[in-house]
Structure 1
């Protein structure tokens, strides 16, 4: 078993076209963004751009492409490079049916049972318990019935927008052939577990989400090789996924560069607002932009402190093991909700991952969590071949109410925040990109952004 380090993107120019549409309209009759005079220079010296996006994950690059499509000259900065974090190691799902926030009534009653098992669905290392307590208290307050209902409404609106924006975005960026629709099968070990899930499915039904409850045999008709351990299931046929999340983000990076954008590896330290621009201080010089998008994932709150803004972002450390192609005949994504992990089929192989570990940004990985999920996956899918896997750990940026922060910074309207998507960064990337582009160009967003206000805490 090996531990995997994310790869780096290389500039690759390619031919492309853009399709006209509400969010992706062409400029001056061409398929390319308007070219502007540049003061960008090579190397790691100071330069100026219309828009500087901090973060080269799926949120940052999607926002950069959306801004570029509005005719803006964009530079992206990232401490490691494209697809180096959670954007590369996720399960590859566009989970548009996941409209129910994790902060929900009853979740606090379940947490102690999960915490008993140090390798279970939820883990908090004892040495980190004090640090995470303020976040957990906010999470508990967000789990009240009233706040849960409001957050569900907001989450549903963002999911609907993201789903509507996804295919036009993929068509415009030349990534449409990476999209899959193989569904998701959620499995239950007992009738009691299945019955407990039903209120959530009723809520999804109210919002028009298609699904079907299955017997044990019906589950196995969809996914042969599933253990008889599972008695009931629910199948969502309209579940979308991506062929491989890392390949997708790297493809976005290539398209962005091919359209005239610049990606630089820089470690951003501070944002300093000026009268007519914002200075981005990095370890290798200053980049200035008329406007800034802060989309640095789990590191975003550290940078936001330079604007004297404290945002309660916590790091959910997720683990997975990616197995070679042919490890199992997986025909749909399988969600083992009671155990906090999924098994998904990517073009590169089979990925087993999930769970939540609150441990901050600085603790070393605990790969025993990945190993524990893999052992369970082997028990639940007896034919799974577990040899040759690569283990991974990444940071999911999560806010207490399960909603991202999308909106202007308190200190200046020249800075737009777009972070805190938790498990749903890939899912909500196209919708977030549309909202960010609207904020950058002073257009009215298509949904109410007040529930996502960075200042709501």
Structure 2
């Protein structure tokens, strides 16, 4: 039998202590709201701890429009390639794949592109402001990114995507082989073209940034409770959250920001969201493994190399395999070998392997907004590869919704009801 709730009904409960939940807590605490954040592990200890550290404000193209559909057959033929689907998981995944394929249709392109571009514009503004307020500006790196290509054919296939960015004022510069060394010395001669994006930013370490933002939220009055939410339900006067250890808490409002686990709780509230889990892998090498000047992007192989304060992170790829399968670290080893081929002097010794769960929706847009049946429940999840990038923007939108203010962007493309 459910125990008597132990928190006040005027509290805003946030489920999920990743970068989205942390930023939401910071924005709501700034607004003077009574905020409690719940997470089973801690602050930015799971997926938000091991991402590629990019603030990818120029990454406006939905996944289905990045040439991914065209490359799927080739990628799937390589069990350690950029995309993997365990055969036993394919029947469960099939409905999501159908939705992903439909999201790539020409009539979906314009709406998805405009929505993502609007979100990115807001994200850049909000991150700059949040970093200033939280004194974390020194954790930002503005070195740009360098996307690299092995052939003229690969480079030419990327051109429509760059042309789409022209419409939104995104700066970039295409480079020939002889120009690459000025942006990154020591590259393999296999790389024949590149594109430099000066506005691309990274952070010194995503886990450390998340914890710093949380310290700021805590200074503003937010509190943290360690606990794994197993049940959420509406009750008289508020929302009840039952933690798996038996504790029960009550809040006037709920913000669900539980990443790849969000759809399991959403279902209990009457919404069904086609969220799938992209399992991403990386290896973080010692910082002196190679002198990398800025984030290097190898889109044809689905991985990036990022210089961090805490090491050199090599990771990416997509394994659509759900939440329960054990990690396949052969995938991180395969990326490490590819990185060594492109960076011949790379020292691959002493690395730390990691796997995380990206919460991905078929149209590459997150869910931001209210629940279908509960006016005191709001969703903030499904950002895929862009959780860190869009965290501050998402937080500002959730704050506006809970404050009764008009949001800064049209939220209809991000509605939970769009499915």
Q: TM-score, normalised by structure 1?
A: 0.89
Matching residue within 256, 264, 270 for 1:308: 270
1:68 to 26, 29, 35: 29
Q: Is 1:222 matched up with 2:217?
A: no
CA contact (8 A) 2:64 2:363 kept: yes
User: 1:104–1:145: 8 Å Cα contact kept in structure 2?
Assistant: no
Trace 1:291-440 onto structure 2 (pairs within 5 A): 291-440=253-402
Alignment of 1:194-209 (within 5 A): 194-209=155-170
| Partner residue in 2 for 1:287 | 249
Q: Partners in 2 of 1:327 and 1:423 — Cα distance?
A: 25
Q: Counterpart in 2 of 1:108?
A: 69
Give the C-alpha shift of residue 45 in structure 1. 7.7
Residue in structure 1 matched with residue 103 of structure 2 by the alignment: 142
Higher helix share goes to which structure? 2
Asked whether the equivalents of residues 94 and 241 of structure 1 are also in contact (C-alpha less than 8 Å), the reply is yes
**Per-residue deviation, 1:105:** 7.5
* Number of residue pairs aligned between Structure 1 and Structure 2: 414
TM-superposed CA distance for 1:342, in Å, is: 0.1
Please give the per-residue CA displacement for 1:183-202, whole angstroms capped at 9, x wherever unaligned: 10000101111111001001
Q: Does 1:46 align with 2:6?
A: yes
Please identify runs of 4+ aligned residues in structure 1 that moved more than 4 A: none
Q: Distance in 2 between matches of 1:421 and 1:105?
A: 16
Contact 2:5 2:250 in 1 (8 A): no
Deviations 1:82-106 (A, max 9, x none): 1122111001000001000002285
The 8 Å contact of residues 37 and 225 in structure 2, kept in 1 or not, is answered as yes
> Please, which moves more after superposition, 263-272 or 249-258?
249-258
Greater mean deviation of Cα atoms: 169-178 or 123-132: 169-178
Alpha carbons 1:105, 1:143 under 8 Å: kept: no
Give the corresponding residue for 1:273: 234
- 1:385 and 1:90 mapped to 2: Cα distance? 21
Bigger shift: residues 281-290 or 162-171 = 281-290
Task: Name the structure 1 match of 2:411.
Answer: 449
Structure 1: gaps spanning 5 or more residues = 1-43
Q: CA deviation at 1:256?
A: 2.0
Which piece of structure 1 moves more, 167-176 or 122-131?
167-176
Counterpart pick for 2:152 among 185, 191, 201: 191
| Other structure's SS at 2:28 match | helix
- For the pair 1:125 / 2:86, whether they are aligned, the reply is yes
The DSSP-based 3-state class of the residue aligned with 2:187 is coil
Unmatched 5+ stretches in structure 2: none
Distance 1:325 1:105 in 2: 31
- Alpha-carbon shift at residue 272 of structure 1 (Å): 1.1
| Conserved? CA contact 2:304–2:314, under 8 Å | yes
What's 1:240 paired with? Answer: 201
Distance 1:79 1:411 in 2: 26
Secondary structure in structure 2 of the residue aligned to 1:164 = helix
Maintained 8 Å contact 2:112/2:365: yes
Deviation at 1:79, TM superposition (A): 1.3
Q: CA RMSD in A?
A: 1.2
Q: Matched residue of 1:338: which SS?
A: coil
Structure 1 residues 106 and 186, CA, compared in 2 at 3 Å: closer, same or farther?
Answer: closer
Paired with 2:400 and 2:38, the residues of 1 have a C-alpha distance of 21
**Is contact 2:66-2:161 (8 Å) kept?**
no
Larger deviation, residues 267-276 vs 377-386: 267-276
Equivalent position SS for 1:108: helix
